[in-house]
Chains A and B, each alone.
Chain A
């Protein structure tokens, strides 16, 4: 089971990189592994070079891990707080997608009040239903700090996602696929709103 979950995390990390949902070594992923533990991505390691054995098992209550191995993500507090509060959630994705991050920089809620076009209003309503409510922005804090964790904890109740001020996006799921679907839906919506406001069309490849 642990080997399967480690592979799941490794594959998820590669997917985040390839779909440009994170850049560099930013972002992190966790999966609930049972017996009060979670498996999380290591700190400061890029997902392409990361191996399955670099994934770290951390206790959800105590945040303890095997100190003889690599260090877990500095955002482990956020992941642990989610698993403690939401027993049905098994996956947490912390990503830095381009357009969602723009909303996070502005402290703007998703769906946006800034756009009144019919199709985006409908898209926004569908997204709100999928996420369990409006996706709001948790208060600002430096990465790895209690302040950032508190911001997330306060922004999540009743929802499966929140924005992190000037930082990125956190998405929860019962499965990895559910979490990725929601992440992509949020990013696609945010992209559509921003491109519409700035009148910058997506590039068309001739290939």
Chain B
């Protein structure tokens, strides 16, 4: 629980907690969760059960981070099927596209579909849902997803946000999954 509080505080301090956030972690056969917002820990986690089901459906992930981040909410309500990566770290850590799950469809199934392949997606009316093998990975994915949303929306507000070239994005994602994921796992095991 202390680790969850620490991660929640970190994400709050970085400004992406918004009005409703949640962090869930697999713990043996159970799932622990912590609800919070920009003002601190809260009692109301909203529909925790749906996020427990989503986490259960992601065997490679141990942690799910849900964040009501401002610009992800904005982009989730104003954009189409995805936000293209216009920053190279977004392409590396999340992928060429950050997919958006809109209301009206099978929200749970669509979140599971995207998080099975990518470390974060944007959900209309919710913000970011990110996953990871540990809380650092999930938090990083959440922070990068919000940055991607700001870069896309903000970049287009001050000019024209340019997409990362296809091949560059694929190379960076491949290198990241091969190299940096292993470094983090090694440190975790220490």
Contacts and interface: CB of A to CB of B under 8 A. Distances in A.
Contacts, number: 121
A198 B88 contact: no
Contacts of A200: 70-71, 74
B184 to A, nearest CB: 8
Looking at chain A's contact residues, the main secondary structure is loop
Interface string B15-43: 10010000000000000000000111000
Interface in A71-99: 96, 98-99
A105 B86 contact: yes
A107 B161 CA distance: 8
A49 B87 contact: no
Q: How big is chain B's contact interface, by range?
A: 35 or more
B40 to A, nearest CB: 6
A23 B86 CA distance: 16
Given A20-B14, A105-B162, A194 B154 contact: yes
A191 B156 CA distance: 14
B7 to A, nearest CB: 12
Interface string A160-179: 00000111100000000000
Contacts of B158: 102-103, 106, 108, 112, 114-115, 193-194, 197
B88 A25 contact: no
Contacts of B39: 205-207
Contacts of A140: 162
Contacts of A190: 154
Contact of A24 (B14, B87, B144, B155): B144
A121 interface: no
A102 B157 CA distance: 9
Q: Nearest 10 pairs between A and B by C-beta?
A: A106-B159, A102-B154, A197-B157, A106-B155, A194-B154, A20-B14, A105-B155, A105-B86, A108-B159, A24-B140
Interface of B: 13-15, 18, 38-40, 70-71, 74, 86-89, 93, 136, 140, 143-144, 146-147, 150-162, 164, 168, 171-172, 179-180, 183, 187
Interface of A: 18, 20, 23-26, 44-46, 49, 96, 98-99, 101-108, 112, 114-115, 140, 142-143, 165-168, 190, 193-194, 197-198, 200, 203, 205-207
